[in-house]
Structure formats: structure tokens, C-alpha cells
Structure 1
């Protein structure tokens, strides 16, 4: 499975999970963005996994809204 396919599959899974609210997506994405900003501000390398999860959350959130 390629990285893009993996991200897409995880985003689809999260977007279709009825237990997660739009607020959950917004709040989690905000937390990830804040952590990335904090890490960048102290000039540390940002973990790839954190960037991957930000991408997944953005895609899942946009899927939930009906965007592509």
C-alpha cells in the first residue's frame, strides 16, 4: 500500500465513523497544528508521522463536509 493510498484509506475510515463529531475533527486538527507550531518554534524536526496525521485529519474533515 502506498503512502497516499494509506492516508486516503485512513481518512475514509475516520470520516465514516459516526462516533466522531465535526468538533472532534476540528479540535484534534487544531491540537496537531499547535504541536507542529510548538516544535517548529524551538527549531526541532517535525516528525513525519505528525505531518501524516495532519494530512489524514484534513482529508477526513473535508470528506465529512462533502468536499473532495
Structure 2
């Protein structure tokens, strides 16, 4: 199971948009398979509106690229 959490540190809450399937099954043999794209946007201005992504768990099983 993969949990996705969006945390805000400023005035406006970020919004989370996802194309991930809720009940997705990934077979271990499918190395480098596309699982889905996640996107969060924050209406705060400037640096406060920047969104950064990181993997907290399962770093060896998943990767994040520049397009989400």
C-alpha cells in the first residue's frame, strides 16, 4: 500500500489531484512500469506556493521524476 500525504506549511491549503487508480495492483515483474501521476498545487505566492515531492517509504520500489 502506498499512502500519499500533502502537507501545508503556509496560509493556503494545497489541492491534490491524482490520476492513480484506487485499487491498483502492480506485479513485481513489471520493473519500471508507470503506476500513475500525482499533482498538488498550492495557491500561495512565490516560494510558499512551490510544491516538493519525496518518498518517505518504499524508496527502492518507486521513483519520482520531474513530471510527477
Give the TM-score normalised by structure 2. 0.22
**Hey, which of these two has a bigger chunk of strand by percent?**
2
Name the structure, 1 or 2, with higher relative contact order (CA <8 Å, separation 6+): 1
TM-score by length of 1: 0.22
